[in-house]
Amino acid sequence: MKRLLILLAAVFLSTAAFSQAKTEGVHIYNPEANAMADLKAAIAKAAKANKHVLVQVGGNWCTWCIAFHQLVDTNALLKQTITENYEYVLVNWDKEHHNDEAMKYLGFPNRFGYPVFVVLDGKGKVLHIENSSYLETDEVGANGKKKVGHDVKKINSFLKGWTVAAVDPATYKPKAK
């Protein structure tokens, strides 16, 4: 019994240490930021630039949030799509900083887990909330198991589907001959 308890304690400690090591030292979200001020500033910039706002809600504790952000930051196609079409804002959510006012304003996107994405127009209207699980890869690794991570094609399709041009009805009118 004593050996079992020692073994369980060792497994628990090693698991806790491993999960903390993944995000320790990573600070892409600012827990102290004024989320509403950041959103308002992004909305104003988006309106002037004829763009939308892409909000990523998550936290430094969230390995999926960090992995997504790193993918977007290192993938030229995704980076270009975001830069050309969106003002990009990270809104922190953690146990100490819920950003309740921002969550209410964004339509409580955190109900879908983290990260979660919200697209706003240049007036601040919520156009879409995207559950990030729909953006995960379907690839299977050599071991026969599903790979962990997000799919670049799915992300880019999501991003392209919510640009200013994509939601403008004039985009779809037949052109005069």
Is 7 inside a domain boundary? no
Range of the domain at 158: 25-165
* CB-based contact 91:111 (threshold 8 Å): no
**How many domains are contained in the chain?**
1
Question: What is the percent of the chain with per-residue pLDDT over 90, rounded to a whole number?
Answer: 80
- DSSP state, residue 145: S
Q: Summarize pLDDT for 30-68 with one digit per residue, the tens.
A: 999 999 999 999 999 999 999 999 999 999 999 999 999
The CATH number that applies at residue 74 is 3.40.30.10
19 — pLDDT class (breaks 50, 70, 90) = very low
pLDDT given for residue 2 in this prediction: 55
Residue 4 or residue 154, greater confidence: 154
112 — pLDDT class (breaks 50, 70, 90) = very high
Is 124 inside a domain boundary? yes
pLDDT given for residue 146 in this prediction: 87
What is the edge-to-edge ordering of all strands in the sheet holding 52-58? 86-92, 52-58, 116-120, 126-131
- Give pTM, 2 decimals: 0.83
Is 1 inside a domain boundary? no
> Among the listed ranges 22-26, 51-55, 167-171, which one has the minimum average pLDDT value?
22-26
d(CA 158, CA 147): 20
Is 20 inside a domain boundary? no
Is 37 inside a domain boundary? yes
d(CA 52, CA 119): 7
Angle (nearest 5°) at CA 86 between 80 and 89: 110
Exposed, middle or buried, 50 (CB in 10 Å: 0-12/13-18/19+)?
A: exposed
pLDDT given for residue 12 in this prediction: 47
